[in-house]
A and B are shown apart, each in its own frame.
Chain A
Amino acid sequence: MQKVYIYKQFERFWHWTQAILILFLAMTGFEVHDSIHLFGYENAVVYHRIAAWMLLGLIVFSVFWHITTGEWRQYIPSFSKLSAQIHYYTFGMFKGEPHPTHKTARNKLNPLQAVTYLGFKLVMAPLIVVTGMVYMFYRTIDANDMVVVSEIPLEWIAWLHTFGAYLLLMFVIIHVYMTTTGSTPLTNIKAMLTGYEELEDTEASHSVIKKEDPHEA
C-alpha cells in the first residue's frame, strides 16, 4: 500500500464547491417548484439565480482545467471492463471478491464511474444548465422592452429543467452511496477531502507518490 496524491487541489475545490452549489440549487429550485419551504419564495428565486451564476462560473473554470491538464481523458469510457464492474457491484462485492479494476492517479475512475460521470457532464449538466439559462432569460418583454426568449413555451423549459433536477438528485444519492464502497466506507470521501488515498502500489505512478511529490515543499 502506498499513499498516493490522487485528487489535485483544484479538483477537490471544484468538486466540493460544485456539490454545495448543486445541493443549494436543489433546495432553492424545489422551493421555486413549491415542493419545499425554506427561504421564502422571493429569496429562493434570488438565491437560485445567484447560485446558478456561481455554478456557471465554476463550470467554466473546470472545463478550462480539464482541457489544460488533460484530465478530461479520465472520462473516456472503456467498455472492456464495464460489465465486470457492474458484476462486482451487483454480486461480487457481497461475496468479498476484489475490485475488478485498480485505481491509480492516472486512471482514477473505474469504467462505470467514467461512463456515469461522462453522462453527468454530457447530459445532466448541460440539460440543467441550458434549460436553466433559457428559463432565466425567459420573459416575453425584458426591462428594455426587448423580447429575449418567447417562442419556446415556458412549460417545456420548466419541465426539462425539473426533470434534470430530479435526475441530478438521483445521481447525488447514488453517487454519495457509491463512495462508501471503497476499502472502508470513508476511504473515498477522505481522499476527496485530503487528496491522498492508500492505493495498491502495483501501478502507482512514481511521480505522484507522496514522498516524491515535487510540489510538496
Chain B
Amino acid sequence: MKKVILPVALMIVLLIMAVHLFHRPELPNLNHLQLQQQFSVKPVASVDHTQFEQLQKDFATPQDVTEACIDCHNERHKEVMASSHWNWERISYVEGRGIERMGKQNVINNFCIGTSSNQQSCSKCHIGFGMSNDLFDFNNARNVDCMVCHDHSEAYIKGTSAAGYPDRSVNLSQVAQSVGRPGNINCGACHFSGGGGNNVKHGDLEMALLEADRSVDVHMAANGINMTCVDCHEAENHKMKGTLYSVSSTHVSRLSCDDCHSSTPHNDRMLDVHTGKVACQTCHIPEYAKVNATKMAWRWSEAGHLKDGEPYAIMDSMGREVYLSIKGSFEWATNVEPEYVWFNGHATHYVLGDEVDTIPLQVNRLLGSATDRESKIYPVKVHRGDQIYDPNTKMLIQPKLWSDAKGDSAFWQDLDWHEAATAGMQEVGLPYSGEYAFIPTEMYWPVNHMVSTKDESLSCADCHTRDNGRLAGLNDFYLPGRDRHAGIDILGKLMIFGALLGVVIHAMARFIMAIRHKEIESQDINY
C-alpha cells in the first residue's frame, strides 16, 4: 500500500502546484479603473468670462486684451514669461557643454532649419505679439498672447508672417469673452502643424487627434476616455509638463506614462519586468502617422530648380507636395513603424556655430546605451534629409529664408543660396566662407502619442524573433529569441545530428549483423 500512497500523494502535490501556476484569473486592474474614473469627470469652468464688463468692449489691439487679462490675473503673466513657450529657450546643463541657453534661437532643426532671420514668419507659433526679428523684447508683458492658448471661440488664428499678431479678421472681443482651459485645438494650432503643415514634424501629433477613435489614440479618442492635451501636460503656474527632445536637452519637467500608470501597470510580472528597460511607448505605439502622412525626408539640396524660368511644385497622387522649388524634395509616409534607440532622457543638439563632427550629422542626439541604468528603449521618428553647410568652416549654415519681398537675400524669394547664406550667417554673427555644400542630416523625434489599444500593441515575437524584428537594429545587448551564439548553435546542431547519425549507423550495423547471424544459423540448420 505504501508503495501506492507515496507516488499518488506526490502526483497530487505536483498537480496542485501546476494548477496553481497555470491558473491565472484576470484580475481587475485597479489603478487603471481608478484612472478611468478620474478622467471621466471633465473639469467645469468656475467663471464665465462673457459676464465680465472689462471684456465687453471692442479691443483696438491684441495687447489691449492682454492688459485686460492682467487686470484680474495680475501675476499670471510673470509665470508665462518664465516659460519656454515664451522664451523659446531653456537654460540647462548639457553634457559636454556646460550651462547653455538652448532653444529655437540657436538650435537647428531638420525642416525649415532655424528661426533666426525668419522670425516674422516663424513667430506665428510664438505666444507673443511682434516678434519680427531678434530684437524682440522678452520683458514686455503687453506682448504676451493669452488668447492663442485660452481661446474657446475657435475664431482666433494668428496671421501668416505677421510676427505673431492675430489675423486681422479676428474679433478680439468675442475671443476675449470665450477664454478658458486650453483645448486640444489650442495646442494643436502650433503643435500639429510644425514644419509648415499638418503632421509634418512629429508624425504622432496631428489634426486627426481632434476626432480620433481608439485605434488612433486610446487617450484622446472621442469615443474613448476623450482626454485633452492638458490632462497630461499639466501646466501648474504655466509651467508645462513634458519636454520634447527636438529642442530640450534634459529631463527636467519630463512627462512620463509612469506618472499615471506606475512602472508596474500590467498585472503580469513578465510584462512588468520589461518596464525597467523598455519604455511604454515602444510596445504601445506600434506605428505613428496613423491617419495623415508625416514628412520622413526633406532634401534642401534639390531646392532652387526652375521650370520655364519659374519656381514650381510637384504633387504626388495623394495631393502631397513632393517637390517645391523653394524647399527641395520631400518624402511622406503613413502608418510608419518607428525606429528604436536607447534613451536616458538627455539629449545634445547641434547649436549654431558648432563644427560638424559626423556625417550624416545628427542635429539632435538622444543619449543612452544598453549598459546605462537610466536608459530605456524608445521609439523614434528619424527624419532624414540634407542641409546647407560651409565646407571651409565646417558649420551648418543658417540661411535667410523668409522675406516679404524679392531682392532681400531671402531664399524663398530669390532662390539664391549664396545670398541667403551670407545674410543668414551675418544675422547670427557667424562666419561664412562664401562656399557652400550640402550634407546629410538626421533628426530624432521620440514618439509619444497615438497610443494604441492593448490588442494592437506589440507582442513578444515582434522583437523576440531571429530576423527582421522591431529591434533588429539595436544590437548592443542580448535579446532572447533574436540573439544566439552562432558557434554554439552550429555545435549543438552537429551534436544532435551527430548523435542521430551515430544511432542510425549503429542500429543498421546491428540489424545487418543480426541478419547475417541468422543466415549463418539457418545455414547451420539446413546443413
Contact = CB atoms under 8 A, between A and B. Distances in A.
Interface in A73-123: 89, 93-96
Interface residues of B, number: 54
Given A9-B7, A140-B276, A94 B513 contact: yes
Interface string B470-501: 00000001101111110011011101101110
Interface size class of chain A, counting residues whose CB lies under 8 Å from the partner chain: 35 or more
Contacts, number: 124
A168 to B, nearest CB: 10
B168 interface: no
B499 to A, nearest CB: 4
Contacts of A217: 1
A177 B269 contact: no
Given A162-B492, A165-B492, A9 B500 contact: no
Nearest to B481: A34
B495 A167 contact: yes
A2 to B, nearest CB: 20
Nearest to A8: B3
Interface stretch (B10-18, B119-127, B217-225): B10-18
B459 A42 contact: yes
A153 interface: yes
Contact of B499 (A34, A40, A145, A170): A170
A18 to B, nearest CB: 12
Given A50-B22, A155-B478, A162-B484, A41 B461 contact: yes
A142 to B, nearest CB: 6
B235 to A, nearest CB: 29
A170 B495 contact: yes
Nearest to B521: A96
Contact of A163 (B466, B488, B502, B506): B488
A17 B10 CA distance: 11
A1 interface: no
Contacts of A93: 510
A154 B500 contact: no
B375 to A, nearest CB: 10
A174 B495 CA distance: 11
B495 to A, nearest CB: 4
Interface in A37-55: 40-42, 45-46, 50, 53-54
13 contacts: A9-B6, A32-B481, A50-B18, A93-B510, A94-B510, A96-B513, A142-B273, A154-B477, A162-B489, A166-B488, A166-B493, A170-B495, A173-B500
Interface of B: 1-4, 6-7, 10-11, 14, 17-18, 21-22, 263-264, 269-270, 272-273, 276-277, 373, 459-461, 464-466, 477-478, 480-485, 488-489, 491-493, 495-496, 498-500, 502-503, 506-507, 509-510, 513, 517
